[in-house]
Structure 1
Amino acid sequence: MTVHKDVTRPDAALVEALRGQSPATLHEAMGRKGAMGHPIKPLFPGMRLCGPAVTVSCGPTDNLMIHIAVALAKPGDVLVVDFKGMTDAGPWGDILTASAIARGLAGLVIDGCVRDAIAIRDMGFPVFCRGTNMKGTNKTDAKGDINTTIVCGGVMVSAGDIVVADDDGVVVVPQDLAADTLDKAAAREAAEESYRHKLNAGETTIELLNLKPYLDAAGITL
């Protein structure tokens, strides 16, 4: 068991700037890296989150380490939990949600399930997970790690990395790449805005993205 209480968090202004970028754009800006697997989805459509990660590795039958991590987390943090992909129980529910909200957490990402889904929705707390399961877990076994490097949704996550999520899914921006990723994401958004203007003017995506050579190679004419 390893518990690191101190986390080096990114500058708040950098986190706020990344909040303005979509996960898809950030994923592309990092060379198509950092995206969690398809099973990790918003509990309800429209949920969004952004913040530095507090990481937890625990499970698959006990959630005591999650309770400890919530107590250690700071306002604005996103709890990222490697629950081993286990879907036979929901280690997170309305009580932990109430605690997280009271402590100012920005949301939860868990490679596992949650329960009390309607209550979580009504409380307005963003959760990204594999699904729901009404079965509970024990709270007695302090096995696991907090604020170590984990794998969640197939992506490595270290404490302090920036997690951004919306209806498209979850992306993790390593803290040491965050500023560069933001610059590349902003440039990509500017280019895509130019594309939109050209499309509105009547240009096709075939012309815009220079796809004609691929059509020619396939013997396709328009």
Structure 2
Amino acid sequence: MTQEPVAEWTTDADLFDLMRRELFTAVIGDVMDKIGLQKQFLPPYLRVLDRGMIIAGRAVTVLEADVFAERIDNSANPLMAKPFGLMFEALDSLTQDDVYICTGASPDFALWGGLMSTRAHYLKAAGAVLDGYVRDSNEILEIGLPVASRGCYAQDQGPRGKVLDYNVPLRIGGVDVRPGDIVFADCDGIVIVPRDREAEVIRRALEKVRTESAVRKALAGGMGTVEAFEKFGVM
């Protein structure tokens, strides 16, 4: 009787710890290519604030929009009278291993800062991915919360942007991001792993990275690339 393979993780905490220790975006992207998920990397202009940062967690999706005043009374939309819209509610909804991931506004102001990082860190969030800029970057680095963005720009979102909704489907650079999808980022990029394919993707990625370790040793020992590819099937 054939036994099912023993799972290497039983909780999200175990899974994300395993990903941070053994995996990297390139190998996850490679295995998703092989199973037909070929549009999972967010645009290359989004980068972690520090090369050593790794983000591994579940998406809390946040939809932002441009506005042209911090507060507008008597609007048909009551959110227009609310500074920052639903940003504070979205931030306070974070739990352990969540990733605040935001898009929708023009890249003309910062979507994230030091105080938001302080709150997210207290809530044990895994990090933040902003399709826009961050500010208070020295404070963010001091806090140690992993953050990825377009870069640093101090202009405030107060009179320029509001959060319209959260935990809704997003699209960033043609990549669909749904609440609960895995967000994984390192110095080489940011990938989105759909929740309904995550077990297959992570197991394949672990197998590939462990095989690549054997290939690396073989190449370092003098084996040619043709022979290595024939023997191991990866390169």
Identify which range, 10-19 or 156-165, moves more after superposition: 10-19
Alignment of 1:1-222 (within 5 A): 11-12=11-12, 13-19=14-20, 20-31=22-33, 32-61=38-67, 63-84=84-105, 86-138=106-158, 144-209=164-229
Cα distance per residue 1:17-58 (max 9 Å; x no partner): 333311111111111441111101011221111111100011
- Structure 2 CA distance, aligned partners of 1:188 and 1:172? 18
Structure 1 residues 53 and 143: CA distance shift in structure 2, 3 A: closer
Any stretches of 5+ residues in structure 2 without a counterpart? 1-9, 71-83, 231-235
Q: Secondary structure at the match of 1:176?
A: helix
Residue 178 of structure 1 and its aligned partner are, at CA, apart by: 0.6
- Structure 2 CA distance, aligned partners of 1:165 and 1:114? 16
Structure 1 residues 119 and 143: CA distance shift in structure 2, 3 A: closer
TM-score where L is the length of structure 1: 0.81
TM-score where L is the length of structure 2: 0.77
Q: Which amino acid aligns with 2:213?
A: E
Structure 1 residues 153 and 129: CA distance shift in structure 2, 3 A: farther
Structure 1 residues 95 and 148: CA distance shift in structure 2, 3 A: same
Q: Which amino acid aligns with 1:57?
A: L
- Structure 2 CA distance, aligned partners of 1:11 and 1:139? 41
- Structure 2 CA distance, aligned partners of 1:155 and 1:22? 19
Identify which range, 156-165 or 19-28, moves more after superposition: 19-28
Paired residues in the alignment total 200
Structure 1 residues 149 and 74: CA distance shift in structure 2, 3 A: same
- Structure 1 CA distance, aligned partners of 2:139 and 2:23? 29
Structure 1 residues 46 and 209: CA distance shift in structure 2, 3 A: same
Q: Secondary structure at the match of 1:64?
A: coil
Match of 2:3 in 1: none
Any stretches of 5+ residues in structure 1 without a counterpart? 1-9, 211-222
Stretches (4+) displaced over 4 A: 139-143
Q: Secondary structure at the match of 1:191?
A: helix
Contact in 2 for aligned 1:50/1:162 (Cα 8 Å): yes
Cα distance per residue 1:104-157 (max 9 Å; x no partner): 111000111111111111111111000111110127976522111101344211
Superposed CA RMSD: 2.2
Structure 1 residues 174 and 37: CA distance shift in structure 2, 3 A: same
Structure 1 residues 53 and 179: CA distance shift in structure 2, 3 A: same
